[in-house]
Protein backbone atom coordinates (compact mmCIF):
# COMPACT_ATOMS: atom_id res chain seq x y z
CA UNK A 1 0.00 0.00 0.00
CA UNK A 2 2.82 2.43 0.88
CA UNK A 3 4.52 1.72 -2.40
CA UNK A 4 1.44 2.71 -4.39
CA UNK A 5 1.26 6.02 -2.48
CA UNK A 6 4.90 6.69 -3.30
CA UNK A 7 4.27 5.82 -6.93
CA UNK A 8 1.21 8.09 -7.03
CA UNK A 9 3.16 10.93 -5.41
CA UNK A 10 5.97 10.45 -7.86
CA UNK A 11 3.60 10.49 -10.82
CA UNK A 12 1.97 13.71 -9.58
CA UNK A 13 5.37 15.32 -9.14
CA UNK A 14 6.53 14.21 -12.58
CA UNK A 15 3.29 15.48 -14.09
CA UNK A 16 3.79 18.88 -12.43
CA UNK A 17 7.40 19.05 -13.54
CA UNK A 18 6.61 18.15 -17.14
CA UNK A 19 3.65 20.50 -17.27
CA UNK A 20 5.93 23.29 -16.09
CA UNK A 21 8.53 22.40 -18.68
CA UNK A 22 6.01 21.90 -21.48
CA UNK A 23 4.05 25.06 -20.71
CA UNK A 24 6.94 27.20 -19.57
CA UNK A 25 6.58 29.89 -22.25
CA UNK A 26 2.86 30.20 -21.43
CA UNK A 27 3.41 29.93 -17.68
CA UNK A 28 6.29 32.35 -17.39
CA UNK A 29 5.27 33.99 -14.13
CA UNK A 30 8.38 36.16 -13.96
CA UNK A 31 7.59 37.74 -17.33
CA UNK A 32 3.94 38.27 -16.40
CA UNK A 33 4.85 39.78 -13.03
CA UNK A 34 7.35 42.10 -14.73
CA UNK A 35 4.69 43.33 -17.16
CA UNK A 36 2.20 43.92 -14.35
CA UNK A 37 4.70 45.84 -12.21
CA UNK A 38 5.89 48.01 -15.11
CA UNK A 39 2.30 48.74 -16.15
CA UNK A 40 1.42 49.64 -12.54
CA UNK A 41 4.46 51.93 -12.26
CA UNK A 42 3.68 53.70 -15.53
CA UNK A 43 0.02 54.16 -14.68
CA UNK A 44 0.77 55.48 -11.21
CA UNK A 45 3.63 57.75 -12.31
CA UNK A 46 1.42 59.30 -14.96
CA UNK A 47 -0.87 60.60 -12.22
CA UNK A 48 1.85 62.04 -9.97
CA UNK A 49 3.18 64.92 -12.12
CA UNK A 50 6.82 63.92 -11.77
CA UNK A 51 9.61 66.43 -12.35
CA UNK A 52 12.55 65.68 -14.67
CA UNK A 53 14.77 64.23 -11.92
CA UNK A 54 11.96 61.97 -10.70
CA UNK A 55 11.35 60.79 -14.27
CA UNK A 56 15.02 59.81 -14.58
CA UNK A 57 14.75 57.90 -11.31
CA UNK A 58 11.55 56.28 -12.60
CA UNK A 59 13.42 54.98 -15.64
CA UNK A 60 16.03 53.49 -13.28
CA UNK A 61 13.26 51.94 -11.15
CA UNK A 62 11.76 50.23 -14.18
CA UNK A 63 15.20 48.98 -15.24
CA UNK A 64 15.75 47.57 -11.74
CA UNK A 65 12.36 45.85 -11.80
CA UNK A 66 13.12 44.32 -15.22
CA UNK A 67 16.55 43.16 -14.06
CA UNK A 68 15.02 41.60 -10.93
CA UNK A 69 12.51 39.54 -12.89
CA UNK A 70 14.91 38.62 -15.70
CA UNK A 71 17.33 37.19 -13.14
CA UNK A 72 14.40 35.22 -11.75
CA UNK A 73 13.62 33.85 -15.22
CA UNK A 74 17.17 32.53 -15.57
CA UNK A 75 16.99 30.89 -12.13
CA UNK A 76 13.61 29.35 -12.97
CA UNK A 77 14.89 27.91 -16.25
CA UNK A 78 17.84 26.35 -14.44
CA UNK A 79 15.56 24.81 -11.81
CA UNK A 80 13.18 23.43 -14.45
CA UNK A 81 16.10 21.88 -16.36
CA UNK A 82 17.30 20.28 -13.13
CA UNK A 83 13.84 18.87 -12.36
CA UNK A 84 13.37 17.65 -15.93
CA UNK A 85 16.81 16.02 -15.98
CA UNK A 86 16.14 14.21 -12.73
CA UNK A 87 12.67 13.14 -13.88
CA UNK A 88 14.12 11.50 -16.96
CA UNK A 89 16.40 9.26 -14.92
CA UNK A 90 15.50 5.63 -14.36
CA UNK A 91 15.43 6.12 -10.57
CA UNK A 92 14.76 9.83 -10.02
CA UNK A 93 15.43 11.43 -6.66
CA UNK A 94 11.95 12.59 -5.65
CA UNK A 95 13.21 14.53 -2.64
CA UNK A 96 15.56 16.51 -4.85
CA UNK A 97 12.81 17.16 -7.39
CA UNK A 98 10.41 18.29 -4.67
CA UNK A 99 13.06 20.50 -3.13
CA UNK A 100 13.84 22.08 -6.50
CA UNK A 101 10.17 22.69 -7.18
CA UNK A 102 9.71 24.32 -3.78
CA UNK A 103 12.78 26.45 -4.43
CA UNK A 104 11.28 27.57 -7.72
CA UNK A 105 8.13 28.82 -5.99
CA UNK A 106 10.15 30.47 -3.21
CA UNK A 107 12.27 32.24 -5.83
CA UNK A 108 9.18 33.66 -7.49
CA UNK A 109 7.85 34.95 -4.17
CA UNK A 110 11.22 36.53 -3.35
CA UNK A 111 11.37 38.27 -6.74
CA UNK A 112 7.89 39.72 -6.27
CA UNK A 113 8.80 40.88 -2.77
CA UNK A 114 11.97 42.49 -4.15
CA UNK A 115 9.90 44.36 -6.75
CA UNK A 116 7.66 45.73 -3.99
CA UNK A 117 10.77 46.77 -2.06
CA UNK A 118 11.97 48.67 -5.13
CA UNK A 119 8.62 50.45 -5.37
CA UNK A 120 8.68 51.40 -1.70
CA UNK A 121 12.26 52.65 -2.09
CA UNK A 122 11.19 54.92 -4.94
CA UNK A 123 8.80 56.77 -2.64
CA UNK A 124 11.72 58.62 -1.06
CA UNK A 125 12.03 60.50 -4.39
CA UNK A 126 8.52 61.93 -4.10
CA UNK A 127 7.57 65.21 -2.47
CA UNK A 128 4.93 65.38 0.26
CA UNK A 129 2.06 66.18 -2.09
CA UNK A 130 2.99 63.28 -4.37
CA UNK A 131 3.26 60.92 -1.40
CA UNK A 132 -0.18 62.01 -0.22
CA UNK A 133 -1.66 61.45 -3.69
CA UNK A 134 0.03 58.06 -3.92
CA UNK A 135 -1.41 57.06 -0.55
CA UNK A 136 -4.88 58.10 -1.72
CA UNK A 137 -4.49 56.08 -4.92
CA UNK A 138 -3.41 53.00 -2.97
CA UNK A 139 -6.32 53.40 -0.56
CA UNK A 140 -8.79 53.69 -3.44
CA UNK A 141 -7.28 50.60 -5.08
CA UNK A 142 -7.52 48.61 -1.84
CA UNK A 143 -11.18 49.61 -1.39
CA UNK A 144 -11.93 48.00 -4.75
CA UNK A 145 -10.52 44.71 -3.43
CA UNK A 146 -12.45 44.74 -0.19
pLDDT on residue 29: 79
Provide the whole-model pTM.
0.72
User: Are residues 28 and 73 in contact, defined by beta-carbon separation less than 8 angstroms?
Assistant: yes
What is the tally of structural domains in the chain? 1
- Give the span between the Cα atoms of 86 and 80, in whole angstroms: 10
pLDDT digits (tens, 9 = 90+) for 30-60: 888 899 989 989 998 999 889 999 999 999 9
Residue range 12-24: mean pLDDT, rounded: 59
Least confident window among 25-29, 101-105, 130-134: 25-29
What pLDDT shows up at residue 52?
94
Residues 60-103 have pLDDT tens digits of 999 999 999 999 888 888 888 888 888 888 888 888 888 888 88
Q: What is the mean pLDDT of the chain?
A: 82
- Confidence label for 20 from pLDDT (cuts 50, 70 and 90): low
Residue numbers of the domain that contains 86: 2-145
Q: Are 2 and 26 in contact (CB under 8 A)?
A: no
- Taken as a whole, the chain contains a residue count of 146
3 state SS for the chain: CHHHHHHHHHHHHHHHHHHHHHCCCCCCHHHHHHHHHHHHHHHHHHCCCCCHHHHHHHHHHHHHHHHHHHHHHHHHHHHHHHHHHHHCCCCCCHHHHHHHHHHHHHHHHHHHHHHHHHHHHHHHHCCHHHHHHHHHHHHHHHHHHC
Amino acid sequence: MKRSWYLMGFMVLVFLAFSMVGCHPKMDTMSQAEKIFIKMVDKTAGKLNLNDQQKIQLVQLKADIRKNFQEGQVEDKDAVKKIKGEGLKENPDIKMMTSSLQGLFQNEAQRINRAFDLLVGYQKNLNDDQKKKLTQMISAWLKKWH
